[in-house]
Chain A
Amino acid sequence: MGIKIALAGNPNSGKTTLFNDLTGSNQYVGNWPGVTVEKKDGLLKGHKDVTIQDLPGIYSLSPYSLEERVSRKYLVEERPDAILDIVDGTNIERNLYLTTQLAELGLPMVVAVNMMDLVDKAGDRIDFAKLGKALNCKVVGISATKGQGCADAAQSALEYAAGGRTGEVPHVFTGEVEHAIAHIEESIQGKVPQESIRWYAIKIFERDKDAIAGLELDPELLAHVEEHIKDCEKELEDDAESIITAQRYAFIQKLMARCVTKNEALRRKVRMSDKIDRVLTHRILSIPAFVAALMAMYWLAVSDNGPGTVLTDWANDGLLGDSGWFLPWSGHDSEKEGSAYAGMSWEDASDAYAKPAASIEAYEAGGGEPVEAWLEDEETGEILEDEDGNPEKWTVDAAAYAAAKAVEEPDPHDFGIWIPGAKAVLGGWLDRWGVEEGSMARALVIEGIAGGVFTVLGFVPVIAIVFLFLSFLEDCGYMARVAFIMDRLFRSFGLSGKSFIPMLVGKGCGVPAVLAARSIENQRDQRMTVILATFIPCGAKTVIIAMFSAVFFREWWWVAALMDLFGIAIIILGGIALKKTRAFAGEAAPFIMELPAYHMPTFRNIVIHTWTRVKAYAIKAGVVIFPCCVVLTLMMTFGWRFQVVDDIADSILATVGGWLAWLTAPLGFGTWQGAAASLSAEIAKEQATATLAMVAGGDGSAAANILAMFKDWGGADYKAVAFSFMLFNLFIPPCIVAVVNTFKEMGTRAWGWFAVGFQMFVGYLLALNAYQFGRLATSGAWGVWTAVAVAADLWVLWMIFRPMPKALKEAA
């Protein structure tokens, strides 16, 4: 058994910085049992047997918020060996309020007054000795961002932990209250642990049922005590809880007068933080500043050539892909003498070789017969056009094949420092070990195991970038202002201003969006945000939209924007409807939020924060996602006799798709292909387009084959089927990676199923509407499912627009 030190303090007091400094990056992040409150601990640097337990940032030890209940439950029940209480020296008055409560627990405690560099700069003075005497614990000054005094503070806490608590808990209340508390202490003597008797006495005085629930105190005793409390309330003309709170602050005010000297001359100068804030929350100027921050976020995570997209593409296609990548800035035109590509860039050379490559591939696939070959657009699967605007096809016979074979293939090594991708390297090894192309072992390793690992790793760049940016926004203090600006709008549909950021992040990727909801303290709001945030079409879903727009809705240029609008509408209407259910009813969580002073975050802090997040994702998510991906990929690659299949129609996935086809029949695509494509989209959403191309078969371009397949399914109503398929894949639960994280963030399995069930319902209903009413409009056909769609729509409208149920209103 090692020593445990609990790190407690207000939010924005520099607790995380101190924790990072004390433990380094060697941290474990999880959830407190049963709730979605972050639990973080780490070993004290240089001490293998000392654990620092980071408690949630809290303002009080009241029984009302989850974080506070978690913290006090830990402190009271686990009884760490010491408390290290971190206090913001620039905001000492409010910070000491928690300190007075922590002191009552009767645990050895060291108070670390943080931000002493800023306190000194402001010309203020804090008398630690006097403060320590009044609070009966050791008080030290530190500056966590500069790393000053942190180790000493931890050392003091260690010494205190070894020595145990001595002396009395400070008496902060006035005569009559102290008198009542003394009475209570007397009557519970022997019924509670002696060292925390004052804590329990005060909790009884406050009528804090949660704190005394486990004690099983005699009701008669409580009734007797109640008289003392009532007397006290009568005398002071207030309720017990308010008396305690007000007197704590009165005690602190007196303490401040004795121990803190403020430099009034310096104080009158406007602080830098105030100057910044004048702009960032100004009634008018705040808007462009806000838009600029949004655009920065958008560019980082979502835009076509922003770092998020570039890094993700590089990770998936380059680093982990089956070809490779050039070392940055090493690319140059080929200088190889005698080569056909001398003087050309890699892109030009690849373009020049595209046609011979296509000829070779088509001819070899055709098995020696003359075949047609063409080039396809990577995104839409359409045949590329020639100069006259016609699809360009050419015939490859034996002679043309031989000619194509004779064309020199460009070697990437001539164009820069070429690093082969992980799949290419793996393929090379398998070649060397004699594992042949098309063999089961090879498919198992490359498609199954490597594919699964790489799916998990492919998300790392975007998660890292989003969290770098988010932790910057959070650490510098702007995040609170974003919530401040957006609160009014989001409250009108039942969420708070803090839900905005996760939904914005969701445009790029649903996984960090779900994780980002953690910054919302109110659990109801956090859960609702997790359920709703992934409805915004993410980067991968954009691929589906692009493909369907190009193949089916060419004349409807607004389809992509419409999908974003659908996402926003679902969030708004879903929020309104959920708020009227038992699970989410109740008054809007109060928006009582500190607006912390702005400050420049430290680089180290942001990096540790991001690293911890990415590590937690890769380890915990990987454990579940990896096998899921392996299973799905294997289902696609293998047939029932575990043979590698050439035609996906023989695969296990096709059979399973066939079993599920009845489910998607009311949506217009009750075929194994439709179900299998949707199922495979759970690996990663953009897989839907690739699988469609695979299952469509046919001998045209991918786009033409898919078009033909949908015409085959829907006849005249094929557009309705296509629209329904697109909506279904956009709005049912997100990919498996996001689903797994949704389960994690919802806290319990039941809540996870609720989230996924809700998302499934929304996606299914949208697709049902698209097909049933699309069909009605184009061919006038209707059926039982049309009636079901009408009934479901009416029910949903009722859920959205009904008045708040009376029972729930009263409960609130």
Chain B
Amino acid sequence: MKTLKDVPVGSSAVVAKLHGEGPVKRRIMDMGIVKGVEITVRKVAPAGDPLELALRGYELSLRKDEAALVEVV
């Protein structure tokens, strides 16, 4: 299963499915990460985590743990 965590910096992927449950999953969805949206991985923080993403015309920061819940194609 390929997740957002595996997307190399500078490239994009389309969300296929969200894993996980409860508050974290809802929070990820609330921020616009739902099936079908295209996400670009822009950057990684100096310490290697979290990630900086671009989607729906804005920037979002997500830890790798959370990015691993987002299945992409």
Contact = CB atoms under 8 A, between A and B. Distances in A.
Contact of B34 (A59, A62, A245): A245
Contact of A488 (B29, B31, B43, B49): B49
B27 A592 contact: yes
A489 B37 CA distance: 31
A591 B31 contact: no
A437 B63 CA distance: 65
Interface string B27-45: 1111110111100000111
A277 B58 CA distance: 13
A304 interface: no
B63 A594 contact: no
Contacts of B66: 590-592
Contacts of B34: 242, 245-246, 249
Contacts of A250: 36
Interface in A22-73: 59-60, 62, 64-65
Contacts of B49: 487-488
A245 B26 contact: yes
B23 A64 contact: yes
A284 B46 contact: yes
A591 B50 contact: yes
Contact of B29 (A245, A283, A487, A595): A245
A287 B45 CA distance: 11
A283 B50 CA distance: 12
Interface in A643-682: none
Given A283-B46, A286-B46, A592 B56 contact: no
A245 B30 contact: yes
Given A487-B45, A487-B63, A489-B47, A242 B58 contact: no
B56 A595 contact: no
A485 interface: yes
A666 B2 CA distance: 61
Nearest to B34: A246
B32 A249 contact: yes
A91 B31 CA distance: 12
Contacts of A90: 57
A587 B66 CA distance: 12
A114 B15 CA distance: 29
B16 interface: no
A488 B37 CA distance: 27
A245 B27 CA distance: 10
A313 interface: no
Given A242-B34, A592-B28, A91 B52 contact: no
B12 interface: no
B37 A249 contact: yes
B23 to A, nearest CB: 4
A531 B61 CA distance: 27
A592 B61 contact: yes
Contact of A591 (B46, B57, B59, B63): B63
Nearest to B58: A91
Contact of B27 (A64, A484, A485): A64
Nearest to A278: B43
Interface in A59-109: 59-60, 62, 64-65, 90-94, 97
Given A90-B57, A249-B32, A480-B61, A62 B46 contact: no
A484 B50 contact: yes
Contacts, number: 113
A148 interface: no
Nearest to B43: A281
B62 to A, nearest CB: 6
Contacts of B32: 93-94, 97, 249
A600 interface: no
Nearest to A483: B61
Interface in A455-511: 480, 484-485, 487-489, 491
Contacts of B35: 246
Contacts of A62: 23, 26-27, 30
Contact of B48 (A284, A488, A592, A594): A488
B45 to A, nearest CB: 5
B28 to A, nearest CB: 6
A259 B61 CA distance: 28
Contacts of B63: 487, 491, 590-591
Interface string A226-260: 00000000000000011001100110000000000
A562 interface: no
Given A62-B26, A97-B32, A591-B66, A484 B56 contact: no
Interface centre among A250, A281, A587 (most CB of B within 10 A): A281
B73 interface: no
A593 interface: yes
Contacts of B61: 480, 484, 591-595
Interface centre among B25, B37, B61, B66 (most CB of A within 10 A): B61
B13 interface: no
B60 interface: yes
A485 B43 CA distance: 11
Nearest to A61: B30
Contacts of A284: 46
A595 B57 contact: no
Contacts of A97: 30, 32
B57 A281 contact: no
A241 B58 contact: no
Interface in A377-401: none
A241 B31 contact: no
Interface in A622-661: none
Nearest to A101: B30
A89 to B, nearest CB: 11
A94 B66 CA distance: 19
B26 A241 contact: yes
A594 B58 contact: yes
Interface centre among A90, A488, A596 (most CB of B within 10 A): A488
Given A484-B52, A592-B61, A94 B31 contact: yes
Contact of B46 (A65, A277, A485, A592): A485
B9 to A, nearest CB: 10
A809 to B, nearest CB: 16
27 contacts: A59-B31, A62-B30, A64-B27, A65-B23, A93-B56, A94-B31, A94-B32, A97-B30, A241-B26, A246-B35, A284-B46, A286-B46, A484-B50, A484-B52, A487-B45, A487-B63, A488-B47, A488-B48, A488-B49, A488-B50, A489-B47, A587-B24, A592-B60, A592-B66, A594-B61, A596-B58, A597-B59
Please give me the 5 A-B residue pairs with the lowest Cβ-Cβ distance, nearest first. Answer: A488-B47, A64-B23, A60-B30, A595-B59, A245-B29
Interface of B: 18, 22-32, 34-37, 43-50, 52, 56-63, 66
Given A65-B27, A591-B66, A592-B62, 14 more contacts: A59-B31, A62-B27, A64-B27, A245-B26, A246-B36, A249-B37, A281-B43, A286-B46, A487-B50, A488-B45, A590-B24, A590-B28, A592-B31, A595-B60
